[in-house]
Amino acid sequence: MSIPAEQRQREFEGEALIHLDALYGLALRLSGGDEPRAEDLVQEAVLKAYRAWDRFEAGTNCRAWLMTILRNTFINQFRQQKARPSPVEFDQVAERPSSDTLYDADPEGRIFDRMIDDEVIAAIDALPDEFRVAVVLSDLEGLSYQEVAALMGIPVGTVKSRLFRARKRLQERLYDYAVEMGYLK
Amino acid sequence: MSGRGTDSPDGSRSGERELTCEESLARVYEYLDGELDIGEHEAVKHHLEKCRKCYPHYDFERLFLDYVHELGAEEESRPGLRERVLEMLAAEAG
C-alpha cells in the first residue's frame, strides 16, 4: 500500500534528509574529494531512496539504509568505469627506503594527536581509486574484508593487499607532512 | 595454518608452535581488523602483547587505524545541496 505523496515527502524530509551531510561526507571520500561528482552521487542515491521509501521499515536505522544505497550507487558506477583499464598503477610507484618511515620517526604515534584532519583526508583523497575505495569502505566505514571484496568484485586477498599498501602510503604522506610542519625531524 | 608443533626459530618448543616476530607482524592488520579466526587471533595476540620488539609496532598501527577510523564519522556540508535535493524531489513527485 503506498503512502499519499504529501505524507511521503514530509516523512522523507524529516527522517532521511537530516542525513544529507553524512551522505555527502561519504560521497566526497568515495569520489576522492570531487565535489560535483559527490553531489551527483548524493542526488542519485537520495532519488533511489525516495522511490524506495515505501520499503523502508520505520524504526530501523535510516542513516545506515541511506549509506548502503549510496555505497551501492557509487560501486555500480565504479565497477563500470573499472571495466576499462586504470591509468595509474599503484604498483609502479617506487617504494621509499624502509628507514624513512613514520614508525621509525615517531614510534609512539604522537603525531596522530597533532595532525590536522584535513591533511589526512587530502592524503586519502589522493590515493589511486582502487586503494582509496578499499580504505574508505574498510577503515572509515568499518566494513569487513568480505564485504569490501563482495562490493568491489575482487578476492579477499586483493582487499588485504590493497589495504596494506594504501595504509603504508598514507603513513608515508603523514610522515612527509609531519616533517614539513616541523613536527618531526 | 601449517607447521604447528615444530621448533620456532628462537629455539622454544611447545605443543602449539609460537609465532615468530615476522609472522605476527605480517598479520598485524588482520589482527587489528578482527579478520583472523579465533585460534590465530589468540596466537597473534599472545605474541604481540608479550614481545618487546613487536609490541611498539602493533601499538603504533593500532593508533594509526583508530585515528583513520575516527575520520569516518565526519559529515560535510555543501552549499545549496539541500535546496537542490528538495527541488529534485518536488519534480519527482510531479
> What confidence score (pLDDT) does residue A58 get?
85
What is the Cα–Cα distance from B30 to B32, expressed in whole angstroms? 6
| B interface with A, Cβ–Cβ below 8 Å | 29-30, 33-35, 56-57, 59-60, 63-69, 71-72, 74-78, 81-82, 84-86, 88-89, 92-93
Q: What is the pTM of this model?
A: 0.85
Query: Residue B67 pLDDT more than 70?
Result: yes
Q: Does A36 touch chain B (CB under 8 A)?
A: no
> What confidence score (pLDDT) does residue A86 get?
57
> What confidence score (pLDDT) does residue A116 get?
78
> What confidence score (pLDDT) does residue B8 get?
43
pLDDT tens digit string along B69-78? Answer: 988 767 889 9
> What confidence score (pLDDT) does residue B94 get?
75
Q: How far is B57 from chain A (nearest CA, A)?
A: 7
What is the Cα–Cα distance from A39 to A33, expressed in whole angstroms? 11
Q: Does A147 touch chain B (CB under 8 A)?
A: no
- By CA distance, what is B76's nearest residue in A? A25
Q: Do A24 and B75 touch (CB under 8 A)?
A: yes
Q: Which residue has the cell 553524512?
A: A22
Report all structural domains of chain A as residue ranges with CATH numbers, in order of start.
5-81 (1.10.1740.10), 90-180 (1.10.10.10)
Residues in chain A with CB shorter than 8 Å from the CB of B29 are 160, 163-164, 167
- In this prediction, the residues of chain A whose per-residue pLDDT falls under 50 are none
Q: Which residue in A9, A115, A117 is closest to B89 by CB distance?
A: A9
Residue A162 neighbours by CB distance under 10 Å: 23
Query: The C-alpha cell of A13 is what?
Result: 524530509
Amino acid at B47: H
Domain boundaries, chain B: 21-93
Query: The C-alpha cell of A43 is what?
Result: 542526488
Average pLDDT over residues B74-84: 93
- Residue A155: helix, strand or coil by DSSP? coil
**Average per-residue pLDDT for chain B:** 85
Q: Do B68 and A140 touch (CB under 8 A)?
A: yes
Residues in chain A with CB shorter than 8 Å from the CB of B63 are 109, 112
Query: Residue B9 pLDDT more than 50?
Result: no
More confident: B33 or A185:
B33
pLDDT tens digit string along B35-46? Answer: 999 999 999 999
- By CA distance, what is B62's nearest residue in A? A109
Q: How far is CA A82 from CA A79, A85, A132, A141, A154, in A?
A: 5, 6, 14, 22, 12
Give the number of A-B residue pairs with CB atoms closer than 8 Å: 101
pLDDT tens digit string along A76-99? Answer: 999 888 766 555 555 555 555 555
Q: Confidence band (pLDDT; 50, 70, 90) for B11?
A: very low
